[in-house]
Structure 1
Amino acid sequence: MSRLKKLVVVVVVVLGLAVGGVAWAYPSVAAAACPGCYGLRSAGDGVYVEEGVPPASVLATVAAARRLVGDFYGGRVTSPRVLACGTDACYTGIGGGREKGVAVLNRAVMLSPGGLDPVIASHEMAHVELHARVSGEVPQWFDEGLAVVVSGDPRYLKPAGAGDRCLVEPPGPLPVTLTEWLKAASADRQTYAKAACQVSRWLSGHGGRDGLLRLINDLNTGTPFTTATR
């Protein structure tokens, strides 16, 4: 075997090991890149479903979720892939955990059997939309609270038009980092309600969508979050 052929073989083997390593260590990333590799079939419009899951139902859910995000922002700049599982085995297989849904690298949204509804789907899409629009740092409580507001999740927020939409008052500072958030939210699910309360009140006092878009612009020009949200 010539040196060139040996080099080609080595490169192919290394690439194969690398891809296999990613699939083993980060199945959600691999599934987002290749849904078919995990048994998900295309339902069209960037949506992939597990065998046995009605495509029309998931497509309707995704369309409703996209409308929620688009209506809130006045349009969308993102359209993440959606991976929808009808069984726990499927969701675990693509890297899911105990959550109902999750955003993957701001490129895809994974939905568990309990997350096949517009509220959960739009919550995760809201994360993707915000991250695509913002280049500056946003504290985790604001990211999560905004996603609750966008989705209108009735578990954590009163309906729009109810005046003050808060269900739970934030007693003090909320988690800033993802690690802090995961720890707090696992101990108290109402952490989402507290964040949603704080964000909804901020939006009410800063012009709603227009205020949020100004905040995003300020963050993108280098203004610190604490200064931009005053």
Structure 2
Amino acid sequence: MEATAPQARGRRRWPWVVAALVAVALVAGGVLVRAYPSVAATTCPRCYGMTPVRDRLYAEPGLSAADRRRLVEVYDAATRQVDDFYRGRESAPTVLACFSADCYARIGGGGERGMAVRNQALMLSPRGIDPVIAAHELSHVELHARLGSHADEVPQWFDEGLAVLVADDRRYLLPPTAPDRCRDAAPGPLPETLDAWLRAATADEQVYARAACRVQRWVQAGGGPEAVLRLVTRLRAGADIDTLLTS
């Protein structure tokens, strides 16, 4: 059956519509890559020259066999640390590890040792190829994965202090054998938002110790890591975070 004039015009428009949608998608992708290279890199590690090492673990190409073994050992130790605290993991993040500053800059990193990207990935700088740093970032990812849409309700100081505790970071906590693991128990408010936390941590890195002190004491008072698991369950059920952290 012969198409009518309006039908023919409609059919002729479809290729233009498809082309326009493709163009919009390409522009949006280009904006994402320029504005958020870390998101783009963790979404497509191979696009940024990263090569698979094992599972969802990627590294820059050209590593020696010794460096690859070291990376796997760091990754295994960090995941065990998180598994032990959370009684298993619900997250399965993509991990991008850089052994050179150029690699880390290329995937969107800055001066930090490591960085969690949403609740799906993390990046490690050359200074972050360390079980403590990797476990710290894995803790962020795990907590956010468990909380889902409620992750934004948790104040940044609690998220950071918990990551220090999970990673057993002795820069900011005394050894587990100490009666009180706090290195800095100074009172006062702690940063609630990510922006405020970044400003505070840039001015005084010991804000990690103060946050870790409060989280460690809260966890200890609640009977150990189970306190965090209960917090996740109750927060997802609609409980108020301030009430949970003060009870």
For residue 97 of structure 2, what is the amino acid of its counterpart? A
Higher mean alpha-carbon deviation, 208-217 vs 150-159, is at: 208-217
List per-residue Cα deviations over 1:43-97 (Å, max 9, x = no partner): 1210110013332221221111111000001111011010001111111111111
Residue 219 of structure 1 aligns to a residue whose secondary structure is: helix
Q: 1:57, 1:100 → 2: CA distance?
A: 17
Aligned pair partner of 2:96 in 55, 80, 83? 83
Q: 1:7, 1:133 → 2: CA distance?
A: 40
1:15 aligns with 2:25: yes
Q: 2:16, 2:155 → 1: CA distance?
A: 50
Q: 1:186, 1:26 → 2: CA distance?
A: 21
Deviation at 1:116, TM superposition (A): 0.4
- Flag the structure with larger Rg: 2
1:120 aligns with 2:133: yes
Within a 5 Å distance, the mapping from 1:200-215 to structure 2 comes to: 200-215=216-231
Q: Is the 8 A contact 1:170 1:197 kept in 2?
A: no
Q: 1:80, 1:11 → 2: CA distance?
A: 31
Higher mean alpha-carbon deviation, 169-178 vs 179-188, is at: 169-178
Give me the TM-score of the superposition, normalised by structure 2.
0.89
Unaligned runs of 5+ in 2: 1-10
Structure-1 residue corresponding to 2:144: 131
1:144 aligns with 2:151: no
List per-residue Cα deviations over 1:19-58 (Å, max 9, x = no partner): 1111111100000111111111011210110013332221
Q: CA RMSD in A?
A: 1.4
Deviation at 1:4, TM superposition (A): 2.5
Q: 2:233, 2:17 → 1: CA distance?
A: 49
Structure-2 residue corresponding to 1:164: 180
Residue 51 of structure 1 aligns to a residue whose secondary structure is: coil
1:33 aligns with 2:43: yes
Structure 1 segments of 4+ aligned residues over 4 angstroms from their partners: none
Q: 1:82, 1:204 → 2: CA distance?
A: 31
Figure out how many residues of one structure are paired with residues of the other and give that number: 230
For residue 27 of structure 1, what is the amino acid of its counterpart? P
Q: Is the 8 A contact 1:170 1:198 kept in 2?
A: no
Q: 2:22, 2:181 → 1: CA distance?
A: 56
1:222 aligns with 2:238: yes
